[in-house]
A and B are shown apart, each in its own frame.
Chain A
Amino acid sequence: MNLNKLMRLFDFNEAGGSNTRRDFFRNAGDLGIKASLAAIPAVILTALPKMVKAQSSTAIADVLNFALTLEYLEDEFYRTALDKSGLIPATDRNIFMQISKHETAHVAFLKSALGSSAVAKPDFDFTANGMFPTVFSDYNTFPCRLSIIRGYRRQGIQRSGGKSCK
């Protein structure tokens, strides 16, 4: 899910003394990452602390909450997609169900680890401010647009004859 790249982006942003959404996008050279960031409400992005080495328990909770926020994003993405009838072909469905199961487990695991410190799930916009209006209606938009599943995409979808996601 490009956690490191995302973290570098956040770091760079703070170093530059700017924290606008536009700067995130300018610095995100990858369309998939742009889409991932766009799906997260601005208030979450700007509220994220600078994440360096976690030394205090607060810093550790901050990093885990960052991970939890990304897992919320992934979990809701796959659950929403699986709920749309006709979006995912039957032959691919068990793969997405397996991924979805893991994302749900990750959310539960992190929430359990954080206890009362866990952040609430934000509201997501998977169209990324209208950039991808067909994200949950066109199968070629759905798996191609979010970098969070890029690793899977290369292994599965391209090889099985799906459209290339450049």
Chain B
Amino acid sequence: MKEEVIKKEKKPGESSQSTLRRRSFLKYSVATTAGVALILTGCKDDDDPGTNNNTTDTVDLGSGDPGILNYAYALEQLEAAFYISVVSHSAFTTTFTAAEQAILTDIRDHEITHREFLKAALADKAIKDLEVDFTSIDFSKRDAVLGAARTFEDLGVAAYNGAGNLLSDGNLLLVAGKIVSVEARHAAAIRDLINPKSTDFAGDTVVDANGLDGAKTPTEVLTAASAFVKTKITFNNLPNS
């Protein structure tokens, strides 16, 4: 699995800068994958519904720390699928400038890495692949794509911020922090594409008077995300405090 993750990230024709950045991120994530996997193995969650209760149309995120990681994994699946749709759309190269294409492609690669990282960490506790539904998004329209991207990134930031205190293992919290900061970079970049050189990159609608980003509960996040996911996600066993 680790080898696969690495191979997925090496693409011909990449600038040395982005390759380097991605490589150092991977060096970190591959190293911690083993650690996270060990942590998960050590969890007492034999009664975790996990993947066992999954039917064709429904997945249950499970309980404890693996449940929270599955929650993150579900969101990363959604984000990765979205950006894959963006970049692979026939209008991509005509809708976006070269610089914008580079940014969106970079974000896609990060989301794929996040998805694969969480999948590897969860191992046999990982939920199955979600079936997504992006029919409401017109991928040939710049505004529609960037607007949806902003929604996904803002939601991702709020989701991680709202899940951190639900994790019991401090090492997992550290990893979640390293992911949420990347999501916030994405959110800032997308917001700047929508309204360049404005204060929207960290606008007052997302950053409060204390200079803090928002946080949403799994219920709020999954309700918002459900518009884009066909697979029914149940999460009754997630920790809630």
Contact = CB atoms under 8 A, between A and B. Distances in A.
Interface of A: 4, 53, 91-92, 94-95, 97-99, 101-106, 108-109, 151-152, 155-156, 159-160
Contacts of A152: 188, 201
Contact of A155 (B174, B188, B203, B207): B188
Q: What DSSP secondary structure best describes chain A's contact surface?
A: helix
B178 A109 contact: no
Contacts of A98: 199, 201-203
Interface string B189-204: 1001000111101110
Nearest to A55: B170
Interface in B178-233: 178, 185, 188-189, 192, 196-199, 201-203, 207, 209-212
Q: What DSSP secondary structure best describes chain B's contact surface?
A: helix
A106 B188 CA distance: 18
Given A92-B197, A155-B189, A102 B170 contact: no
A95 B199 contact: yes
B31 interface: no
B202 A99 contact: yes
A4 B173 CA distance: 13
B53 to A, nearest CB: 34
A160 B189 CA distance: 13
A96 to B, nearest CB: 10
Contacts of A4: 174, 178
Contact of B211 (A109, A151, A156, A159): A109
A102 B210 CA distance: 7
Given A53-B170, A94-B198, A102 B189 contact: no
B197 A91 contact: yes
A104 B211 CA distance: 8
A159 B99 contact: yes
Interface residues of B, number: 20
A94 to B, nearest CB: 5
A68 to B, nearest CB: 13
Interface of B: 99, 170, 174, 178, 185, 188-189, 192, 196-199, 201-203, 207, 209-212
Nearest to A106: B211
A155 B199 contact: no
Contacts of A99: 202
B85 to A, nearest CB: 23
Given A91-B197, A108-B210, A109-B212, A156 B202 contact: no
20 contacts: A4-B178, A91-B197, A95-B197, A95-B198, A98-B201, A98-B202, A98-B203, A101-B211, A102-B202, A105-B212, A106-B211, A109-B212, A151-B185, A151-B188, A152-B188, A155-B188, A155-B201, A156-B192, A156-B197, A160-B196
A151 B192 CA distance: 13
Contacts of A97: 199
Given A4-B178, A156-B192, A102 B211 contact: yes
